[in-house]
Amino acid sequence: MGETTVRHLAEDVLSGWFREQRRTAGGSADDRLRRAEEDLRSCIDRLAPLLLTPQELALVALERQFDPEHAATKVAGVEAVLLTLPVFLDDPHRHGADLLDRRLRIELARDLSELIVRLPSPEGVDLGRAAFVVESAIRHEIWMLRQERGAVRAGRRGGHGA
């Protein structure tokens, strides 16, 4: 008989990962993590019609009747998280309040992507391609962050001479 692989739900992976991160974070780092988690979950909810099958969307509608808060993550598999991460990184509304928020979100995307790719995936689910897209988005966001940092530094230098 063939071995059955368990489908990992987005909710379980996200809850566990963020809980572990908050365990060691304190103060403003904890606040940043909570905002990033909320933004990522909201992004998954917003993209649910593109990420989920009609059957899963029907389950999301039922889930919302019991708990409307981030119902899509309770139904979606972890592959939905991988597919959402590039959008999460690219959306200016989800960059956070400052460069530290942006950096945290880039690290979050990299860590979650690495975690999800290591999980056993059900037969027929190829997480490698999605992980490659996430890695490309991460590299782009790191480049953008460096550009923004350089612009901030140049602005500070320019302001002192005026």
Please tell me the pTM assigned to this model: 0.84
Q: Is the pLDDT of residue 65 over 70?
A: yes
pLDDT in tens, 108-149: 999 999 999 988 876 666 788 888 889 999 999 899 888 888
Residues 3 and 88: their CA atoms lie apart, in Å, by 34
Residues 41 and 26: their CA atoms lie apart, in Å, by 21
**Banded pLDDT at 13 (limits 50, 70, 90):** very high
Q: Report which DSSP code applies to 2.
A: P
Q: Report which DSSP code applies to 124.
A: T
Predicted pLDDT of residue 145 = 87
- What's the structural domain count of the chain? 1
User: 22 is in which domain, residue-wise?
Assistant: 10-161
Does the residue 52 lie in any domain? yes
CA distances for 145 relative to 36, 99, 113, 131, 152, angstroms: 17, 7, 19, 21, 10
Contact 47, 87 (CB under 8 A): yes
Supply the mean pLDDT for the chain.
Answer: 87
Predicted pLDDT of residue 161 = 47
pLDDT in tens, 73-105: 999 999 999 999 999 998 877 777 788 888 999
- Reading phi first (left if > 0) and then psi (alpha if -120 to 50, else beta), residue 123 is in beta
Does the residue 1 lie in any domain? no
Does the residue 103 lie in any domain? yes
